[in-house]
Homo-oligomer: A and B are copies of this chain.
Amino acid sequence: MFKDKDIMQLLQDVACAKVTVNEAYNKLRRAPFEDLGYARIDLHRGIRQGMSEVIYGKGKTTAQIEGIVRGMAENGCRNVLITRLDPDKAAVLTARGIELDYHKDALIGIASPAPIRKIGNVLVASAGTSDQYVAEEAALTAEVTGSRVTRLYDVGVAGIHRLLARIDLITSARCIIAVAGMEGALPSVIGGLADCPVIAVPTSVGYGASFGGVAALLGMLNSCAAGVSVVNIDNGFGAGYLASKINQMDGIYEE
């Protein structure tokens, strides 16, 4: 990666003739847009330092995934997140010698696993057992990106006492991911109880007039509770990534 200090260094090297003008020119020419990268490498090639890389597994062959993972491993990438990875592909990858920590109920594989230091407090709450796949995708993403995660599953609003019984988890989280299909009311109730940002994830769980998650999506967008925002249907990864970002924010140091 080509950071600001690298440019400065390069210029100094030119100034003191350590590097020729031609060499510097060739380095710089490729730099301008790569350097945008200092802020952020694009999603599919890796997120940012301290965080793992991400591969969207769906629609990729095992050969393609294997190639990317091996390339990353050679560059020292650990804890590479592979989302929407079905069990068959996971088995093939393992058989081919890829070190893979596979989570069947989230369809997520973590390649080249390594210990992760997890900090803060992200709560992942889900309404029903069938929302669990998306909830787990969110939870694992948050963990792999360095956040400590608490799971609170099967706390749909039709049995509000189960949610209220763990109000301590809600009030102590730094960021909450609320996952729900059907009527998608969970984020509204949680948003009314919590004081931290709430990320709502509609799931495609349901039948009839749930329209593949649209009912839940609309319900969440119309939440009367402030502090709630929404990601795409079934987008557990997006929610987990964002929650991790919020959870790990630094405090403001002003005088």
**A positions within 8 Å CB-CB of B:** 4, 7-8, 11-12, 14-15, 17, 21, 24-25, 28-37, 39-40, 42-43, 47-48, 54, 59, 119-120, 127-128, 130, 156-162, 164-165, 167, 170-171, 174, 182-185, 188-189, 191-197, 199, 202, 204, 206-235, 237-239, 241-242, 245-252, 254
Please tell me if the beta carbons of B245 and A33 are within 8 angstroms of each other in the complex.
no
Please tell me if the beta carbons of A230 and B229 are within 8 angstroms of each other in the complex.
yes
A-B contacts, 12 of them at CB < 8 A, read A32-B33, A37-B165, A39-B161, A157-B157, A157-B192, A183-B188, A183-B222, A185-B189, A208-B213, A211-B218, A215-B221, A248-B252
Interface of A is mostly: helix
Task: Identify the closest chain B residue to A202 (Cβ).
Answer: B208
Residues of B within 8 A of A252 (CB): 119-120, 174, 247-248
CB distance from A11 to the nearest CB of B (A): 4
Please tell me if the beta carbons of A229 and B242 are within 8 angstroms of each other in the complex.
yes
CB distance from A231 to the nearest CB of B (A): 5
Task: Identify the closest chain B residue to A42 (Cβ).
Answer: B159
